[in-house]
Amino acid sequence: MTTRDTEVRIPHAPVAELTMPTAEELFGPDKSQPQPEPLSEDSIAWELADQECARLMAEAMNDEPPDEPPPYSGFYESLKHLHDAQTEPADYVLTGVRRRQVTLFLSVTNVGKSTILLNHCLAAAAAKQWKPLLPDAPARLLKVIYFDGESTDDELKQDTLTMLKTIGGKDSALINFVPIVEPAIKGESLDLSSKPHFEFVKAFVAREQPDILVVDTVGALFTLFNENDNAEVKRKVIRPLKSLAKAGNCAVIGVHHIGKRGENTTDEEEAYLGRGASAFGTDTRAVFTLKREKALGVGYVRLTLGKAKGVQFDPVNLRLDFDRRTFELLHESPKVETPYQKVVNVFNGKPLGLTDLEALLPDLSKSTIKRALTSALGTGDLSKAGRGKYQKPSKAQKVHAYRDEPFEPFSEPAETVEDSGDLLDGDENRDEPFEPGDLWDSEPDEDARIRAAIER
């Protein structure tokens, strides 16, 4: 095929479309026609334009981000600088609970931590006295935000309705007590460890400016991978709570559980009984503990201020009124029998064995009963009444053991009481006289010489 047989097409640059000019463009405006007069400054059109401009400027200002907080605060140049600065006192809203600080409320499960806090918060919202943490009625109505991460909305509704019948001030509490219950953001349950969730809550608290903010409980409203990690607890719990306290200029109360280790301990510091890292106790301003008073019975608890500065608060006993859903302060502690007293007092003229005592004293363990029997036999409060049986001795029979040191109950080992026999089932408990040659009669001839000397 030759070159001539091949059609060659050369692309061309696009040509601009040509249009005919208008008469006005060629010869100028038609002066024979009337021309519109220019608008005067007092024209309604100018006024409308000014209003529209003002509206657009206002919208633009509202859309601007808020002023950034200062890059740092609390760094004073000197002590004089601090003394000269305008400072605001952090007043107490409850006993031991101060504004702009975090207080921890520790309790074992199902003791009444939420109930006692709701009692006091409802009283604060109604400006009512409620002991022990509100010994005097507040000077004004206090605003409370209560985050409830464990109850349902209906449960909280019914509980607060019942409590207010006793506390009073219902109309004021209905306005000043702000419940946050079963909270969710965009379909997700509230998690204060989530940055978007926390920023929303912080903005909400900053707007509401409450006096008291309760987070019930830390475990329900914060997600922690390892609550035993001090660094994680500080970063994800303590610092956010302090940030809320500062944003709302309020007192923050975080409710937390006492761990298994601290449920029955008596020698550990109260401030460190919280489950998990020690930061719960070290990095908070005050720590309350609420424990069962098992010796008093069901519904009795003991409230202790385990950590505080400048506050005197003696531990108190409280009793829960289950029908009213309120805790009542006991001004005098009921008389409590010790296990030793319980064991001795259960005898009423009838010999009893270990099995009988276990049935009559179901709240005492077997080892506790054994220790009490050991002590009672040593002091003479009980005596042997046959193999495996004990009784209260008569006045003529009661003989106390002679000791160089005062006798201490429960000082003998529990193993001295055996299920199969009596505590003292040997020759040392015999009432009959010893015969010569007996194990305990090592010098019969000496006794005979003494008797002969007396007779002479």
Residue 403 has pLDDT above 70, yes or no: no
pLDDT mean across residues, the chain: 78
Average pLDDT over residues 256-263: 67
Q: Which amino acid is at 171?
A: D
Summarised one tens digit per residue, pLDDT across range 128-187 is: 999 999 999 999 999 999 999 999 999 999 999 999 999 999 999 999 999 999 999 999
State the pLDDT at residue 88.
84
Average pLDDT over residues 346-350: 82
Average pLDDT over residues 20-35: 64
State the pLDDT at residue 381.
86
Summarised one tens digit per residue, pLDDT across range 62-77 is: 554 555 666 777 888 8
Q: How far apart are CA 65 and CA 16, in angstroms?
A: 48
DSSP code at position 106: E
State the pLDDT at residue 440.
39
Q: 360: which residues sit within 8 A by CB, 6+ positions away?
A: 346, 352
User: Of the candidates 215, 206, 210, 207, which has an alpha carbon nearest to the alpha carbon of residue 247?
Assistant: 206
Q: How confident is the model at residue 443 (pLDDT cuts 50, 70, 90)?
A: very low
CB 143 within 8 A of CB 125: yes
Residue 7 has pLDDT above 60, yes or no: no
Q: CATH for 339-429, among 2.40.128, 3.40.50, 1.10.287, 1.10.10?
A: 1.10.10
CB 369 within 8 A of CB 361: yes
Q: How far apart are CA 414 and CA 61, in angstroms?
A: 80
Of residues 301 and 31, which shows the higher confidence score? 301
Average pLDDT over residues 434-452: 46
Q: How far apart are CA 392 and CA 371, in angstroms?
A: 17
Could you give the percent of the chain with pLDDT greater than 90? Answer: 38
Could you give the percent of the chain with pLDDT greater than 70? Answer: 66
Residue 315 CB-density burial (10 A; 0-12 exposed, 13-18 middle, 19+ buried): middle
DSSP code at position 234: I
Q: How confident is the model at residue 434 (pLDDT cuts 50, 70, 90)?
A: very low
Alpha-carbon distances, residue 100 vs 97, 103, 305, 352, 420 (angstroms): 9, 10, 19, 61, 64
Nearest-10 Cα torsion for 74, 78, 83, 86? -40
Summarised one tens digit per residue, pLDDT across range 83-109 is: 999 888 889 999 999 999 999 999 988
Which residues pair with residue 214 across a beta bridge? 146, 253
CATH of the domain spanning 92-330: 3.40.50.300
- Listed range (27-41, 154-168, 280-294, 405-419) with the worst mean pLDDT: 405-419
Q: Which of 5-19, 80-94, 332-346 has the highest mean pLDDT?
A: 80-94
User: Residue ranges of the domains in the chain?
Assistant: 92-330, 339-429
- Listed range (45-59, 207-221, 272-286, 394-408) with the worst mean pLDDT: 394-408
Nearest-10 Cα torsion for 180, 185, 191, 195? -120
